[in-house]
Amino acid sequence: MTNITLSIDDDVYKKMRKFSEVKWSEFVRKCVKKRVEELESIKSNFFADEELLAENWLSVEDNSAWKDL
């Protein structure tokens, strides 16, 4: 497992200390994981839509009508 270091405002840190029962490292780890999964989902959906939009939606008749333009 990799370690990272966060900077947190002193005021926030003081408030966090009031909730000593919370495992803040685990909380942040889950938040980061969830956000990464959301971003991956958005990215994969975007590329899927991009591929869909790139498809030729014209029918054979449409292609025939537009070929000389």
Residues lower than pLDDT 70 in the chain: 44-59, 63, 65-69
Residue 43 lies inside a defined structural domain of this protein: yes
- Per the structure, the count of domains in the chain is 1
Q: Are 66 and 58 in contact (CB under 8 A)?
A: yes
For residue 58, the model assigns a pLDDT of 65
Q: Are 10 and 2 in contact (CB under 8 A)?
A: no
For residue 52, the model assigns a pLDDT of 63
Residue 39 lies inside a defined structural domain of this protein: yes
Residue 18 lies inside a defined structural domain of this protein: no
Q: Which domain holds residue 46?
A: 26-51
For residue 63, the model assigns a pLDDT of 66
Residue 16 lies inside a defined structural domain of this protein: no
Q: Are 22 and 16 in contact (CB under 8 A)?
A: yes
Q: Are 16 and 24 in contact (CB under 8 A)?
A: yes
Residue 38 lies inside a defined structural domain of this protein: yes
For residue 15, the model assigns a pLDDT of 97
Measured between alpha carbons, how far is 24 from 19 in angstroms, rounded to an integer?
A: 9
For residue 45, the model assigns a pLDDT of 63
For residue 40, the model assigns a pLDDT of 85
Q: Are 28 and 6 in contact (CB under 8 A)?
A: yes
